[in-house]
Structure 1
């Protein structure tokens, strides 16, 4: 089901935010506290988790901490059927519905950006099989925030109300109707758990919105969270290998090894500098969970890695374009790049989906450093994933 972005004028967004915040913080607290029970009913029912992947396993672990054991997983992956995941049997959706559709609560624990379907599709598929009680994972997470939250941008709705003034301020920054429409959809999902209004991803290459900002052949590109070189590869393709220099930072050792290998194969490898380090507001050593994946992050795990400050490590350089996808450390890294932003106003492509409040705090922080930016918000995967704030210097905007 394709969902187009509904563009909004500034006045339309203001009115929509008035409506969204009409319930007030107290009303949001009341709603989040009873959402699960309203859907589950007063009589305790057995639980089936639809999705035996990462989110399903996180939900299972949390339920066990609460003393609740699901009776089954169900999953679309036929290779998992009649096996066990973390000790819980996995059934096909058809078998799960036949055995448990009348009495169990089916909690959808599939939420990933690279899915081919959407949350409403998953819920509808279970109901079509005869499942009587179906809900997303959000009401459960809201009911037990001490166990489950925050989980990426999923957090308690009342926290958005607490930041209402800042939410409104950020709403005034967006430079086009599409960004304002996306902003409202993202807020509705954070406040109401509304997956239905989440627009389709845009089509341009992530981090490089050429329809807004053309690249030049003199770019100095800074890649924070360089992973295995995927964003550098996109940059090289978009610039056709015409650039001045690339600086890449990646703390995960497995990812960094792949990054080094990729760079070593490039014809202009002498113009690409990579460093195994995290990026933040203060230089030093930080803890890190190295998973060898895109989700490796600072502040968790028991691995120690160097953390560098962009203003310090890039002193004497002239960055023109900075990308950040650093699993929730974006605000700290931007703070550490304040001098560069104030002096150089590079293009900024900053991931905005790792925490609930990054949606408004990231553009507001950049705005506090410089008045010379136009702000755009674009989704690059389904259902809130790979959401990017683009802060583009006004002199670099493509003429319309």
Structure 2
């Protein structure tokens, strides 16, 4: 994929283009950058046959074969068609692999890559200031490399990978006896299992998904050292909509319920209200884009108990900047570190000690 630094779509495309994908990431890109007729794609591409022939904003959706034919015809004429892939993670890799097998002659971009190039170019001063605040050179290198990879469309970088996410790593070691671990975003309890394996660790787990919550209640039934709370963490009492996607950096999120009225809401509460002054020694957050607001709702807990923090920052481009800024400005008593726990753009964790 192309390597570039630009601040507007007009600087990126000199050829007609299509958008491959019709999901949230693709449509978010379209709404953000395709504002005028001259900036709009000539058509959408989607492999889902049920969508073929329908339209988004008056622009028709075609099968991949239509894109293959159009790009080949342009190439024969000495022209070139561009494609913006509105998918992320493994889905992006699958599309790239498919186009390579078809020997597609087109300029290929990722919607996330374009967005990252624009966003991080605009926020360069903030990024540089954050990098200077990290406590070690390793964190600075990882932070700058992740951003450079996103801007340049580098999808995989094994050199940044670190094992043992959240604790048991070179930043936060194994948990000590008597610690209180707040696990926000429990899922199936993998991190709880790691934490309680050594014994004498108390866990507050937060899991708003009803199915997962029921599973966890049964899993930890009879245990006095694990308490599961059926809510998400936020900065106020509210009902939120959870939009799930396995890909990164910006495909999953927790949004206000008014954004999708047809979706069922989940309960969300501030951590300060739940704990009511009770101790916390490690606060881990992997809550699909709700981390920033959840940190606002944990301000008293952080000020009073100064727990170790392990906060995911990969759910949106903005989180790579606004979450470090928030913590660095409000809590200068911490030392800050960054580690990457995936070979792709996901699982980036900001640590504070």
Q: Structure 1 length normalisation: TM-score?
A: 0.66
Other-structure match for 1:183:
143
> Which of 182, 185, 188 is matched with 1:225 structurally?
185
Deviation at 1:70, TM superposition (A): 1.8
Whole-Å separation in 1 of the counterparts to 2:99 and 2:338:
33
* Structure 2 residue 92 is the aligned partner of structure 1 residue 131: no
Identify if the C-alpha distance between structure 1 residues 369 and 220 changes in structure 2 by more than 3 Å, giving closer, same or farther: same
* Structure 2 residue 255 is the aligned partner of structure 1 residue 279: no
Asked if the contact 1:375–1:389 (Cα under 8 Å) also holds between the matched residues in 2, the reply is yes
Whole-Å separation in 1 of the counterparts to 2:332 and 2:45:
54
Deviation at 1:180, TM superposition (A): 1.0
* Structure 2 residue 250 is the aligned partner of structure 1 residue 297: no
Other-structure match for 2:71:
100
Whole-Å separation in 1 of the counterparts to 2:148 and 2:224:
47
Asked if the contact 2:253–2:290 (Cα under 8 Å) also holds between the matched residues in 1, the reply is no
Other-structure match for 1:112:
88
Whole-Å separation in 2 of the counterparts to 1:112 and 1:140:
10
Deviation at 1:160, TM superposition (A): 0.7
Q: How does 1:175-254 map to 2 (within 5 A)?
A: 175-189=135-149, 193-196=151-154, 199-200=157-158, 202-212=161-171, 213-226=173-186, 228-229=187-188, 232-240=189-197, 242-251=199-208
Deviation at 1:184, TM superposition (A): 1.0
The unaligned stretches of length 5 or more in structure 2 are 54-60, 75-79, 247-251
Aligned pair count reads 324
Asked if the contact 2:289–2:315 (Cα under 8 Å) also holds between the matched residues in 1, the reply is yes
* Structure 2 residue 339 is the aligned partner of structure 1 residue 374: no
Whole-Å separation in 1 of the counterparts to 2:120 and 2:170:
34
Asked if the contact 1:36–1:140 (Cα under 8 Å) also holds between the matched residues in 2, the reply is no
> Which of 166, 172, 193 is matched with 2:132 structurally?
172
Q: How does 1:35-50 map to 2 (within 5 A)?
A: 35-38=11-14, 40=15, 45=16, 47=18, 49=20
Identify if the C-alpha distance between structure 1 residues 233 and 187 changes in structure 2 by more than 3 Å, giving closer, same or farther: closer
Asked if the contact 1:114–1:382 (Cα under 8 Å) also holds between the matched residues in 2, the reply is no
- Three-state SS of the structure 2 residue aligned to 1:361 is helix
Whole-Å separation in 2 of the counterparts to 1:71 and 1:118:
17
Identify if the C-alpha distance between structure 1 residues 343 and 382 changes in structure 2 by more than 3 Å, giving closer, same or farther: same
Identify if the C-alpha distance between structure 1 residues 174 and 48 changes in structure 2 by more than 3 Å, giving closer, same or farther: closer
Asked if the contact 2:253–2:289 (Cα under 8 Å) also holds between the matched residues in 1, the reply is no
> Which of 217, 231, 245 is matched with 1:263 structurally?
217
Deviation at 1:360, TM superposition (A): 3.2
Asked if the contact 1:195–1:383 (Cα under 8 Å) also holds between the matched residues in 2, the reply is no
Deviation at 1:171, TM superposition (A): 1.3
Identify if the C-alpha distance between structure 1 residues 268 and 234 changes in structure 2 by more than 3 Å, giving closer, same or farther: farther
Identify if the C-alpha distance between structure 1 residues 357 and 330 changes in structure 2 by more than 3 Å, giving closer, same or farther: same
Q: Structure 2 length normalisation: TM-score?
A: 0.74
The unaligned stretches of length 5 or more in structure 1 are 1-26, 143-152, 394-400
* Structure 2 residue 122 is the aligned partner of structure 1 residue 159: yes
Whole-Å separation in 1 of the counterparts to 2:141 and 2:195:
27
Identify if the C-alpha distance between structure 1 residues 259 and 189 changes in structure 2 by more than 3 Å, giving closer, same or farther: same
Whole-Å separation in 1 of the counterparts to 2:295 and 2:335:
17
Whole-Å separation in 2 of the counterparts to 1:218 and 1:86:
58
Whole-Å separation in 2 of the counterparts to 1:244 and 1:267:
16
Other-structure match for 2:57:
none
Whole-Å separation in 1 of the counterparts to 2:142 and 2:265:
37
